[in-house]
Amino acid sequence: MNTVHFTLPSVLPSRPALQDTTTTAKQVESGLARVTTPQDTPIFICAFQDCNRLFPSRDRLMFHRKRDHDSEEDGDIITWNE
Ligand SMILES: [Zn+2]
């Protein structure tokens, strides 16, 4: 069985954020999309090069970092919760 593995380049090209003009209010109400907050959806991203894994808490991220990177460095974390 093949495992499909997606990766992102460590540097992504930036572009201006544009207003979403294609999603209708009805689609939003039907649950295809929703507005969330840092309290509802905590996001902590391991920003070590080529990792970019996403975790629901700083503790989970640090556990991953220790196990997978053999590091207790607490920098290079992207989050909107702190
Ligand atoms: Zn990582």
51 assigned to some structural domain = yes
Task: Give mean pLDDT, residues 40-69.
Answer: 94
40 assigned to some structural domain = no
The residues pairing with 45 across neighbouring beta strands, listed in sequence order, are 54, 78
Q: Provide the pLDDT for residue 73.
A: 93
Residue-range definition of the domain harbouring residue 53: 46-72
58 assigned to some structural domain = yes
67 assigned to some structural domain = yes
33 assigned to some structural domain = no
Ligand 1 center from residue 80 Cα (angstroms): 17
- pLDDT of 2 > 70? The answer is no
Res. 58 pLDDT band, cuts 50 70 90: very high
64 assigned to some structural domain = yes
Ligand 1 center from residue 81 Cα (angstroms): 18
Provide the whole-model pTM. Answer: 0.61
The position carrying tokens 């093949």 is: 2
80 assigned to some structural domain = no
Res. 4 pLDDT band, cuts 50 70 90: low
Cα Dmax for the chain: 47
Ligand 1 center from residue 68 Cα (angstroms): 7
36 assigned to some structural domain = no
- pLDDT of 48 > 70? The answer is yes
One DSSP character per residue, 6-39 reads ----SSPPP-------SS-HHHHHTTS-----TT
Ligand 1 center from residue 1 Cα (angstroms): 25
- Total domains in the fold of the chain: 1
